[in-house]
Amino acid sequence: MGRPVTLFTGQWADMEFADVCNMAGDMGYDGLEIACWGDHLNLERAANDDSYVSKRKKILKENELDVWAIGTHIVGQCVGARYDSRLDNFAPDELSGKPEKIKKWAVEQMKYAPKAANNLGCEVVTGFTGSPIWKFFYSFPQTSEETIEKGFEEIVESWTPIFDAFDEQGVKFALEVHPTEIAFDYYTTKRLLEKFDYRETLGINFDPSHLIWQGVEPHLFLRDFSDRTYHVHMKDASVNLDGRASIMGSHLPFGDTKRGWNFRSLGHGDVNFEAIIRELNDMGYTGPLSVEWEDSGMDRKYGAKEAVDFVKQIDFEPSSLAFDESMKE
């Protein structure tokens, strides 16, 4: 089918943008999903500075790369997350320890995002929303339905003016359903869409790696939310429940082989990508397949090159006729 294969640059933010472009082009990627941290993309400048955008486009063109989406994950997290000191890592240094100012900064940045996307020639912004109630996912001490409902309402209140800015630019926001977000599994995703009255602006950045270890079947999630899938991440994970390991992760770092689950390079985990491709074919998705490469047990350049080859091999076209059509007289 030839869907474009892109590389999400979020895990490569220690490299200069030009170097990432050069690497991705040499590896055979068709484009990038550009993260708005490191030096890869400054949202305010991309929204307001034509010369800045032109330079980014020039670097992309020199490496025969396009862009279909930009990623705003760490900024969006600061909009809706309940503050703790870890958010200081995502915001400017001068805002450390100042939750109200961090949120104000994040909202302003997210309002730049749709115009920045438009200026770069893309119609989708991927990212996180954060969640004021994630810490309550295990209901002890007892968590009331009132508390959960209030958390969803807080997200609606915080993100509605941001989505208004998206509508002005004709750009969609694709939430990556993910632990620590207000929508982290099947039913929280359904609840969030309902809370926004299925506002067209809000859709999904489908990522199977965050679903499989929770026990959610990725291709069925994709099937049920096909009309809301605006972008697709290609990312794998392995589930290793050996009788000692816990699905909760045991406070062990990613990559530790004692963990109950780990992110893996594509084709090295338990995600059924063939089933996913079949669903994408059935729903008529023609957008990018974006490799978000995360595997603490593998050299990342080796893995990223292997990943683009894997995606291009698995991305088969649907049949144009029924297999038994030729049996007719």
Q: What is the tens place of the pLDDT at every residue in 85-125?
A: 999 999 999 999 999 999 999 999 999 999 999 999 999 99
Query: So where are the chain's domains?
Result: 5-319
Give 219-276 pLDDT, tens digit per residue: 999 999 999 999 999 999 999 999 999 999 999 999 999 999 999 999 999 999 999 9
Residue linked to tokens 């047990």: 297
Is 266:310 a contact under the CB 8 Å cutoff? Answer: yes
Rounded to whole angstroms, the Cα distance separating 53 from 243 reads 52
Identity of the residue numbered 243: G
Q: What is the DSSP letter of 318?
A: P
Residue 36 has what DSSP assignment?
S
Residue 41 exposure: Cα atoms within 13 Å on the Cβ side: 38
DSSP SS3 for 41: coil
Could you give the CA distance from residue 70 to residue 47 in angstroms, rounded to a whole number? 12
- Residues 274, 262: Cα–Cα separation, whole Å: 20
At 310-325, the pLDDT tens digits run 999 999 988 776 665 6
User: In the predicted model, what is the mean pLDDT of residues 58-74?
Assistant: 98
- CATH code of the region 5-319: 3.20.20.150
Are residues 261 and 213 in contact, defined by beta-carbon separation less than 8 angstroms? yes
Percent of the chain with pLDDT over 90: 95
For residue 223, count CB atoms less than 10 angstroms from its CB and return exposed for 0-12, middle for 13-18, buried for 19 or more. Answer: middle
How far separated are the first and last CA of the chain, in Å rounded? Answer: 30
CB of 277 closer than 8 Å to CB of 314: yes
Nearest to 298 by CA among 236, 241, 240: 236
When the pLDDT of each residue in the chain is averaged and rounded to a whole number, the result is 96
Which ranges constitute the DSSP H helices of the chain? 17-27, 43-48, 50-62, 73-80, 99-120, 145-169, 186-195, 209-212, 218-224, 273-283, 300-314
Contact 193/202 with Cβ under 8 angstroms? yes
pLDDT > 90? residue 2: no
Tokens of 186: 């099947």
